[in-house]
Chains A and B, each alone.
Chain A
Amino acid sequence: MESPGIIIAFWVLAAVTVGGCLMVLVARNLLHALVFLVLAFLGMAGLFVTLSADFIAVAQILIYAGSIAVLMVFAIMLTPLAARDNANSLYLLPALAAGLGIAGLVSVVAVITPWSELKGDALGQSDPVTTVSAIGDLLLGRYVLPFEVASILLFFALLGAIVLVHERRGPREGS
């Protein structure tokens, strides 16, 4: 955090991210909220870039801004009246409580974690050339079991979706 460029980039990206999140709350139209959510995702990807986490940044764009947004589009399309009417919700109090709880949990974790603080040359030296190979080694080495469990979970989710929407052509229904 020394050169002016990175500071300007941080504040601009932070403003984009926080502003996008605020607009998600304020927007009355669900699809407008979705667009602002994508904006917030892109801002977060930019923040990851300033942290030299290139793979996470690109994965953020690919998974959140690309795929999750399309998934949400389909969810909105398949829900009647959801797109143009987002008037009120029955779950206001539980949602507020859950949101406050999650925010509290995240801030407590952020405060009590012993972050390694580096400055100057030490920061430059600790900067890895690429994070891809390190992530790959960890995923297929130390964390191979969680990785495989996640893949099996996703596979079952895929199978379940196919089974749920599969048209059964029984003999009763005829041709």
Chain B
Amino acid sequence: MSTAPRPATPMARQILEHRSLLQRAYALPGEVFFPLLFVLLGGLAATVGIGFLVVAGYLDGRWYDIRDLGNGTSHFRYWAQQQGLPPSVAYLTTALLGGIGILSLVGGWLVIGSWVERRLIAKFQIRQGPNRNGLFGLLQPIADALKLIQKEVLIPVGADRLLFFLPPILIFLPAMLGWAPIPWAAKMSYVDMNVGVVYAIAISSLGVLAVFLAGWSSNNHYALLGAMRTVAMMVSYEIPISLSLLGVVLFTGSLQLSQIVVWQQTYHIWMVILLPFAAFAFLFASTAEINRTPNDIGEAESEIVAGFHTEYSGMKAGLFLAVELGNAILVGAMMSTVFFGGYSFFGLETWIPGYLILATKIGAVYFVFVWLRGTLPRFRLDQLMSFAWKFLIPLSIIQLLVVSVESLVIAQSDLPGLATVGGSVVVNLVLTYFGVRAWANAIGYAPNEMASPPIMTNGVGGLRAAEQIRAGR
């Protein structure tokens, strides 16, 4: 029985050789270290200067106030009116600018996003992810796209040629149009429409048709199975999404997304605290709606090849894969606008541009999506359906009844907002906890009282400790 330590794995070597950022900074040679320090201090000084300008109010409402790009466009419209240009010219220009903004946001994300997702998933699975092409593997998506474009685009013999051609284009409609009502700052949304919430639900329901047409026109059993699964799931999960958004709308009294953000700003509270169950229902149902991995039975690789896009090859399949990434950040934007305060962060939005705050929140929600994907196994079709119809929908309806009473109390009573909104928070939290437990017990989900921790890694004090033990330290 040998006592010699087992050879270190690559990860253990990484842990042993890992130096902190500060250590690495000190180790830099002088001719790099001092210019870097200079740049850092200069940036700090510039930040302080800008902070002084903001506090003194020199920026408020000027066209160069980049905390809200809406300032620039409204000043441009005013200027165009002064010059005697017809209003259509000014509106057309601003509409084009906004459209280019949305297009470049989504397009840029489609380039970067697959790299981000693969790197994050790799972190969850304790491996490196793509790191060969370019710095940190950043050129990997471009290499993938080049490969996909070079591939031959096959059309099956029995396929319906028109309907086979349409879906990769159609499926991008909701992923693009859904960005229109999202407010990026107080005056900065592409179309600040009065019916923003209903618009978002309506636009998301258009994706169903594209998925179905893709599956049907392929003339392939697996594709049709995947399409039917996806359509059934999307139709079912639209109901919890609508019900959870309806709860939010009852509180805010407006279907306008910017008004929902303003309501959360006024009461200094995020909807997720006020309506925790609605936020959970929205998160889970939207993963089903956009076909992400815990709920992607429509394209379950282990069962039905690739689901509704089995027969698509080359860049057409690439478009189907890309639209998932676009949908993920769109849902993240909806989620952070409705439930996480949108562009506001308890007063921080006067210092930092609102769109940066919203982008950070979108990134956080997207991280949760990747986390779910890296953690949960794929659910079965019947599990998903019964979860929607027997769990999410009844509880959402009960929540809607409670919320309508609470919103009446908030609107009608003369008590301060702290009492009414705070009381609603307490009532909702308690009701959610006991309601979810009671309902889960009643239909047999039985939440585990004393879940045992996974002993293999937790027993030795975590993954890094396990690696160090293996490395013989």
Interface residues of chain A, those whose CB is within 8 Å of chain B, are 3-5, 29, 31-32, 35, 38, 54-55, 58-59, 61-62, 65-67, 69-70, 73, 77, 83, 129-132
> Cβ of A62 and Cβ of B235 under 8 Å apart?
no
In the bound complex, what is the Cα–Cα distance between A59 and B87 (angstroms)? 29
State which residues 195-217 of B face A: CB under 8 Å.
195, 198-199, 201-203, 205-206, 208-209, 212-213, 216-217
Subset of 5 A-B contacts with CB under 8 Å: A31-B217, A35-B213, A62-B205, A69-B209, A70-B209
Majority SS of interface residues in chain A?
Answer: helix
Q: A70-B231, A70-B235, A73-B209 are in contact. Are A29 and B160 (CB under 8 A)?
A: yes
Majority SS of interface residues in chain B?
Answer: helix
Q: A5-B88, A31-B163, A61-B206 are in contact. Are A54 and B195 (CB under 8 A)?
A: yes
In the bound complex, what is the Cα–Cα distance between A20 and B208 (angstroms)? 20
Q: Which residues of B contact A54 (CB under 8 A)?
A: 193-195
> Cβ of A58 and Cβ of B198 under 8 Å apart?
yes
In the bound complex, what is the Cα–Cα distance between A3 and B88 (angstroms)? 8
Q: Tell me, rounded to whole Å, the shortest Cβ–Cβ distance linking B382 to chain A.
A: 14
> Cβ of B160 and Cβ of A73 under 8 Å apart?
no
Q: Which residues of B contact A131 (CB under 8 A)?
A: 194
> Cβ of A73 and Cβ of B231 under 8 Å apart?
yes
In the bound complex, what is the Cα–Cα distance between A69 and B208 (angstroms)? 9
Q: Which residues of B contact A35 (CB under 8 A)?
A: 163, 166, 209, 213
Partner of A129 from the list B166, B194, B235 (CB cut-off 8 Å) is B194
Q: Which residues of A contact B335 (CB under 8 A)?
A: none
Q: Which residues of B contact A5 (CB under 8 A)?
A: 88, 91-92
Partner of A61 from the list B193, B202, B255 (CB cut-off 8 Å) is B202
Q: Which residues of B contact A62 (CB under 8 A)?
A: 198, 201-202, 205
In the bound complex, what is the Cα–Cα distance between A55 and B196 (angstroms)? 10
Partner of A66 from the list B193, B208, B213 (CB cut-off 8 Å) is B208
Chain A, residue nearest B216 (CB)? A31
Chain A, residue nearest B253 (CB)? A133
In the bound complex, what is the Cα–Cα distance between A161 and B209 (angstroms)? 23
6 nearest CB pairs, A to B: A66-B205, A62-B202, A130-B194, A61-B202, A58-B198, A58-B195
> Cβ of A55 and Cβ of B209 under 8 Å apart?
no
Q: Tell me, rounded to whole Å, the shortest Cβ–Cβ distance linking A12 to chain B.
A: 15
Tell me whether B162 is interfacial, beta carbon within 8 Å. Answer: yes
Q: Tell me, rounded to whole Å, the shortest Cβ–Cβ distance linking B466 to chain A.
A: 49
Q: Which residues of A contact B201 (CB under 8 A)?
A: 62
In the bound complex, what is the Cα–Cα distance between A130 and B91 (angstroms)? 21
> Cβ of B88 and Cβ of A4 under 8 Å apart?
yes
Q: Which residues of A contact B194 (CB under 8 A)?
A: 54-55, 129-132
Q: A35-B166, A35-B213, A58-B199 are in contact. Are A65 and B206 (CB under 8 A)?
A: yes
Interface string of B150-174 (1 = CB under 8 A from A): 0000000000101100100000000
